[in-house]
A = this chain, B = another copy of it.
Amino acid sequence: MLLSDLGEWELLRRLAAFAPPGQFADDAALLSETSGQQLVVNTDVLVEGVHFSDATIPARALGWRAAAANLSDLAAMGCTSVAGITVALVAPGHTPWPWVEGVYQGFQEALQQYGGVLLGGDCSSGSQRLLSITALGHLGPAGGPIRRSDGRPGDWLVCSGPHGLSRLGLALLLEELQPSQRSQLSAELEQRAITAHQRPQPRLDAIAALSRSQPAGLPWRVGGTDSSDGLAAAVAAIGVASGCGAVLERAALPLDLELAELEQGEHWCLSGGEDFELILAVEPAWAEALLQALPGSSRIGTLVDADPGALRWQENDQPLPTGSTGFCHFH
């Protein structure tokens, strides 16, 4: 069964089954009333051949991952709850319906886990499969927004979890590793790496922990972003926006011990990207409380009074390699 067999109206009817009853009945969607929490919105587009391929991700994992990437941006802005997503689906007429169904099942699974509903969307034929997702969420009741520009020299940099696993998962799926390297890896790590790549977890829970651990009397001021473009890029982005440099402790990189033994391990930890963890800059007292409140989090360094965005190793004051951070399309 191909999309060209269904036609647009039947396709929309089937997609509506992934939303609450009546949700697709009108020209637009009403959001539920909320108790005054400020709303946050984010849009991401994923294009086949640029952001995903059938070789590395099955449809259901793609749906999960696309939703999770958007929810990660909401978390990076300080959201603790998700209102929902809208989805624009573009695909050629020869696209099999089961692929689309799988993608929407993935959306549904992510929304069931993190809250929110499929609010609405649109679909069209096109030469290439792509998903444009807009996510809507609310700041926490006790929290304010997180901004890249709200770091200050002296803030500790806290990272919500390990880095580099998603890139290892991609390398495994693309069969990039030499057999000698592959033989170094345990089956358990391989599975975790593939899961990290295909089923990343947006860290809305970390924002709840951040709110809980705010010391009494300390005003809300949190610098931060997510590490979708890589750990080093995330720290550099906070530094640039906040007018700070950063020192990172090489021995404290959030790097799985087994991954550290791979030649590429440290590079993937710093620049692999798509780990969807949060990098937060807060005052030391808040950071200490946050490290207690959030298992798996760690201190990776400190913001310092230096050239905006400059990153150095604490151990030897050497600059971190740059130019390998982030992604650039259109080339």
Listed in ascending order, the chain A residues whose CB lies under 8 Å from chain B are 3-4, 6-9, 11, 25-31, 33, 36, 38-47, 50-51, 72-74, 76-77, 79, 86-90, 93, 119-128, 130, 132, 134-137, 139, 145-149, 225-226, 241, 326-331
Contacts and interface: CB of A to CB of B under 8 A. Distances in A.
A73 B28 contact: yes
Given A27-B226, A28-B73, A8 B330 contact: yes
A50 B125 CA distance: 7
| Copies of the protein in its oligomer | 2
Contacts of A124: 45-47, 50-51, 329
A8 B41 contact: no
A9 B123 CA distance: 28
Contacts of A128: 126-128
A93 B148 CA distance: 29
Contacts of A130: 90, 126, 130
- Residue of A11, A51, A86 ringed by the most chain B CB atoms within 10 A: A86
A41 B31 contact: yes
Contacts of A328: 7-9
A44 to B, nearest CB: 5
A149 B130 CA distance: 32
